[in-house]
């Protein structure tokens, strides 16, 4: 027993020794942790002290720059406020000076703020976002100021060239002044381009600001500012377009030759109307050096036994002509095609005359309907020629009476009866040029609207104008599309001026069936005229252009037999055509039912349907109706206007038809 107790004591002593050693180890580790903590805290204090000292030093270094940013920004803002007043007052020289000062102030502030953004202050979480927003705001302000300075400098340059206010009457400038003006317009293109781009960049900078309160605190309404910048950008774009187009139209640096045709929409033809009058013009160094208008028969009649060109079959069959001449040259609904044919016929016939005109190889072929001239009368006011006053209300009727019936009373022969059109043209030209500085914004609007409505058609060999026309969709061509398509083309054949008294409506219906898409086009005519020297039975050969590969199912309402309905392909489209007659006081209608090609059905099955409706130039469609029925519910449609609505899988639309229309439906 003694030995066992001794052994137990030894174990106790050993355990106690182990505990003591463990305590010493733990104590040493605590001392080590405490030492490391003290060392860490010491380093942290030194680092924070250093950073604080560096931050204080940084603030002291950049404080003058911050003050400069504040005061220059304030000065720039004040300059811009003055510039706004000067712009409204048209004080261009003062505007140029103040805008330049504003731009210098904002640029100086921007330079300083960018320096601050690279400093430690600029990387602090609290300041970094605000500094970035400040940079965007100053960049926008600088770009706006620069655009104002550039634009006002251009106006000053023009004013220096034309110092007297009376000199703004373009028609009174001498040849050298006109040439210098054309030269300055060409030189202004790069400045206008830069000013326009600067405004666009300014809008991008403003849109990049995340803290909108930053702008509001400066007393700025961001939405109003953005709207003003959009308007100013559009105006600069118009000015740039003018700067590119005017020198070419004015014959600078090389002379420009024109062939233009007046297409009478009351006697509708594929590109706008019967060609009753043609004109020739030549411009050089800003001057119209030659202008002549003539009855188309002055060209056609002298060569009727010399030029024998086979006409399109429908002209021969329904109009009863054996040969093709300039007056019927616009048979293609595609303006570039018809314009080239018009120029070709002019050249061929002119060369066969006993005394041919030396003007040919035209850079521009222009088609005009009377609607374009009527709209321009808004700017010129009434025009008085040979004792008769033409205005917007009576122009068409008075001109037709004068050239078609009353010309002997004005001392004109049958041969010279349309020379009055040239006199009206020259009188309008003089009035437009005399007021060009005041009316040019409205003039641009009128020209743009008439291009959009196809009352003005332009074909050109000049690349600058061609690119602008292509960009704006003003080439008058049959447009390409991967979706559905429709163009209705009426051709008045021996129906006098009856289109003036015919009301037309168009309905396009579409039905999705189990194996594809079936379309139906209905064209309704109401002849409200009577038998007279001007109106008679309406006689139209009508074609509809539809997606290539469409298959005709049936046609109805036409005159003649089923074999008289034509089917063909051109201009990457399929077309169907038939002839119709509608007597005065009667109603008539044509309809075509056809199956669309399978590729359009495949697009529909992928959830989308597109439709492009093109308007025939000169056509007066009083009502357009669309009724499209599918086998799947419609999710969205464009345009979403109040006269367009969807019910389940059916979509309907009702409106006028004065411009081309695009529609998109998604399922």
Residue 168 has a pLDDT of 63
In the numeric block, the tokens 């320096």 are attached to: 115
Residue 603 has a pLDDT of 94
CA atoms within 13 A on the CB side of 595: 10
CB–CB of 548/574 below 8 Å? yes
Q: Residue 351 and residue 307: Cα distance in Å, rounded?
A: 11
Structure tokens at 648: 């389940």
Q: What is the DSSP letter of 243?
A: H
Cis check: omega of the bond before 542, within 30 degrees of 0 = no
Structure tokens at 373: 């001239």
Q: Which residues, other chains included, contact 536 with Cβ-Cβ below 8 Å and sequence gap of 6+? A: 495, 496, 498, 529, 584
Residue 80 has a pLDDT of 85
Structure tokens at 197: 């781009």
Residue 114 has a pLDDT of 86
Dihedral of the alpha carbons of 662, 663, 666, 667, in degrees to the nearest 10: -140
Structure tokens at 114: 């960018």
Q: Which residues, other chains included, contact 217 with Cβ-Cβ below 8 Å and sequence gap of 6+? A: none
Q: Taking Cα atoms as reference points, which of 661, 665, 663 lies closest to residue 631?
A: 665
Give the global pTM.
Answer: 0.84
CA distances from 323 to 117, 137, 456, 606 (A): 79, 69, 28, 50
Residue 392: is it exposed, middle or buried by C-beta count within 10 angstroms (0-12/13-18/19+)?
A: middle
CA distances from 424 to 40, 374, 386, 389 (A): 96, 12, 10, 10
Q: How many residues does the chain have?
A: 667
CB–CB of 293/399 below 8 Å? no
Structure tokens at 456: 């003005």
List per-block mean pLDDT (blocks of 10 residues) for the chain, which spans 667 residues.
49 62 67 69 60 51 63 85 85 91 91 79 73 88 92 86 63 87 93 94 91 75 84 88 92 96 98 97 94 95 96 97 98 98 98 93 97 96 94 93 83 82 92 85 92 97 92 94 97 97 98 95 98 96 98 98 96 98 98 97 95 97 97 94 91 96 97
In the numeric block, the tokens 């404080």 are attached to: 63
Residue 2 has a pLDDT of 42
The helix or strand, by DSSP H or E, that contains position 484, with its residue range, turns out to be strand 484-492
CA distances from 500 to 373, 620, 622 (A): 17, 9, 12
Q: Which residues, other chains included, contact 204 with Cβ-Cβ below 8 Å and sequence gap of 6+? A: none
SS3 label, residue 136? helix
CB–CB of 227/206 below 8 Å? no
Residue 4 has a pLDDT of 43
Residue 26 has a pLDDT of 65
SS3 label, residue 528? coil
């Amino acid at each position: 027993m003694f030995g066992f107790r001794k052994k137990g004591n030894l174990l106790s002593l050993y355990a106690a020794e182990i505990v003591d050693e463990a305590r010493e180890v733990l104590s040493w580790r605590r001392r080590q942790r405490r030492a490391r903590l003290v060392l860490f805290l010491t380093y942290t204090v030194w680092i924070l002290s250093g950073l604080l000292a560096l931050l204080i030093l940084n603030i002291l270094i950049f404080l003058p720059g911050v003050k400069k940013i504040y005061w220059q920004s304030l000065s720039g803002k004040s300059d811009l406020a003055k510039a706004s007043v000067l712009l409204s007052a048209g004080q261009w020289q003062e505007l140029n000076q103040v805008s330049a000062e504003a731009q210098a102030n904002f640029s100086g502030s921007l330079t300083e703020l960018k320096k601050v953004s690279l400093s430690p202050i600029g990387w602090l979480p609290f300041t970094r976002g605000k500094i970035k927003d400040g940079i965007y705001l100053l960049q926008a302000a600088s770009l706006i100021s620069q655009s104002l300075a550039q634009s006002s400098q251009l106006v000053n340059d023009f004013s220096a060239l034309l110092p007297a206010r009376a000199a703004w009457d373009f028609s009174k400038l001498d040849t050298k002044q006109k040439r210098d003006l054309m030269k300055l317009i060409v030189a202004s293109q790069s400045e206008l381009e830069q000013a326009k781009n600067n405004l666009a960049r300014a809008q991008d900078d403003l849109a990049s600001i995340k803290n909108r309160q930053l702008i509001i605190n400066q007393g700025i309404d961001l939405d109003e500012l953005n709207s003003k910048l959009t308007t100013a950008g559009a105006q600069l774009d118009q000015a740039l377009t003018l700067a590119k187009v005017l020198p070419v139209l004015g014959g600078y640096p090389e002379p420009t030759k024109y062939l233009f045709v007046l297409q009478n929409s009351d006697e509708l033809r594929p590109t706008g109307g019967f060609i009753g009058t043609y004109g020739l013009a030549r411009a050089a160094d800003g001057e119209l050096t030659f202008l002549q208008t003539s009855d188309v028969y002055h060209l056609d009649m002298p060569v009727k036994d010399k030029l024998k060109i086979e006409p399109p079959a429908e002209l021969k069959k329904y109009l009863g002509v054996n040969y093709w001449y300039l007056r019927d040259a616009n048979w293609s609904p595609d303006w570039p095609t018809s314009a080239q044919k018009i120029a070709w016929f002019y050249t061929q016939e002119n060369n066969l005359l006993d005394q041919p005109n030396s003007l040919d190889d035209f850079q521009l072929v222009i088609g005009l309907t009377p609607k374009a001239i009527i709209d321009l009368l808004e700017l010129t006011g009434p025009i008085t020629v040979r004792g008769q006053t033409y205005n917007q209300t009576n122009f068409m009727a008075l001109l037709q009476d004068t050239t078609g019936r009353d010309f002997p009373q004005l001392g004109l022969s049958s041969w010279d009866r349309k020379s009055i059109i040239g006199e009206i043209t020259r009188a309008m030209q003089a009035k437009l040029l005399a007021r060009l500085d005041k009316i040019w914004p409205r003039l641009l609007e009128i020209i743009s609207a008439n291009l959009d409505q196809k009352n003005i058609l332009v074909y050109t060999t000049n690349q600058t104008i061609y690119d602008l026309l292509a960009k704006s969709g003003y080439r008058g061509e049959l447009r390409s599309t991967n979706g559905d398509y429709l163009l209705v083309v009426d051709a008045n054949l021996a129906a006098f001026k009856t289109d003036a008294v015919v009301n037309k409506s168009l309905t396009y219906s579409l039905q999705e069936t189990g194996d594809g898409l079936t379309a139906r086009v209905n064209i309704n005519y109401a002849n409200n005229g009577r038998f007279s020297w001007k109106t008679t039975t309406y006689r139209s050969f009508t074609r509809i252009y539809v997606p290539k590969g469409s298959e005709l199912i049936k046609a109805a309402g036409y005159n003649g037999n089923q074999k008289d309905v034509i089917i063909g392909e051109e201009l990457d489209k399929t077309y169907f055509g038939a002839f119709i007659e509608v007597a005065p006081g009667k109603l008539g209608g044509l309809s075509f039912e056809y199956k669309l090609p399978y590729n359009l059905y495949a697009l529909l099955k992928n959830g989308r349907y597109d439709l492009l409706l093109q308007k025939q130039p000169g056509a007066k469609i009083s009502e357009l109706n669309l009724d499209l029925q599918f086998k799947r519910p419609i999710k969205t449609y464009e345009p979403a206007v109040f006269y367009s609505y969807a019910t389940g899988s059916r979509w309907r639309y009702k409106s006028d038809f004065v411009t081309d229309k695009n529609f998109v439906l998604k399922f």
